[in-house]
Amino acid sequence: MDWKEQTVLVTGGTGSFGRKCVEILLQEYHPKRLVIFSRDELKQSEMQRDLSDSSLRFFIGDVRDRERLYRAFHEVDVIIHAAALKQVPSCEYNPFEAVKTNILGGQNVIDAAIDCGVRRVMDISTDKAVSPVNLYGATKLVAEKIFVQANAYAGFRPTRFACVRYGNVVGSRGSVIPLFLEQRNHGRITVTDPSMTRFWITVEQGVRFVLRCIEQMHGGEVFVPKIPSASVVDLARAVAPDCKVEHIGVRPGEKIHEILVSPDESHLTLELDDMFIVQPAYPWWGKGNWENQGRPVPRGFSYASNSNPHRLTQQELSEILEGL
């Protein structure tokens, strides 16, 4: 795949992931045209000011608006679908809005991509989509399902769809780290449960993994990177070692531990050196796509944050925080 010959569009292109993705694409991949699609005009104007490049195009629009997507996807080769409502409490309080953006917006992206002849579409998912307990996770589970099955809707057309599923992004909007940094000034850190663990990945690691999976995808996979875990208490101590840690109880829709591959997916999952691939359970999935590169995981296998063999040490946590 020659990125220099591709027109790439990023939905949610002004968010934490989108902005870093655009920066890396411009600096290292040099696509023919790079389209930022988002509904935030202020952030778009800031990106235009900060990123001066002749390949850049900016579209104001919302994934809820089918007609705007059809216009934006004209002559696009690759779509990275990062637009979503992601705040767990906000989605709990505004469920209809979460459904409209995360599910119906995803359907709009699928329909427009197929009809416009886009060749590769990668949906950005989350560990909260696995055995979801909150509305955000439930909408992202549905999004995964429709993007995987969209390959059947594409039929003989060239469009192929896949998903990337990973854990909490260090320092992103909605991450607990900015909250801890703010609380540090007051000498007290709040943690919902002392045993809570999470998967962690930096936004740059996430972007690079997504771009690599776009190059390798056959269509239908859910790609899961092997990433480290850490307890939230250890993270709090790394951010503010001298502060008091107060336990305030689990919030609505919050898990104690997160899962990136569930036992129910184990019979479909292949393990590679640095990632897992959850294959689709549909007749259209081509045999041999990954079998020669991956090995099946044991039945009942799960990839969970509390049993993950790679746990971040205090020193590793401190190094990650220094890099923010």
Active site residues: 128
DSSP state of 266: G
Please state, in angstroms and as integers, the Cα–Cα distance from residue 142 to each residue in 80, 147, 224, 324, following that order: 18, 9, 17, 32
- Residue 85, helix vs strand vs coil: coil
Instruction: Copy the structure tokens of residue 111.
Output: 């329909």
Which DSSP state fits 3? G
Here the tokens at position 69 are 């997507």
Compute the distance between CA of residue 213 and CA of residue 128 in angstroms, rounded to an integer: 20
Euclidean distance between CA atoms 277 and 223, whole angstroms: 5
Distance from first CA to last CA of the chain, Å, rounded?
31
> DSSP label at 311?
B
Q: How far is CA 108 from CA 69, 301, 308, in A?
A: 8, 34, 36
Q: Are 192 and 286 in contact (CB under 8 A)?
A: no
Distance separating alpha carbons of residues 27 and 21, to the nearest angstrom:
10
What is the identity of the amino acid at 165? R
The DSSP symbol for 149 reads H
Q: What is the DSSP letter of 282?
A: S
| Maximum pairwise Cα distance, the chain | 60
Q: Are 37 and 13 in contact (CB under 8 A)?
A: yes
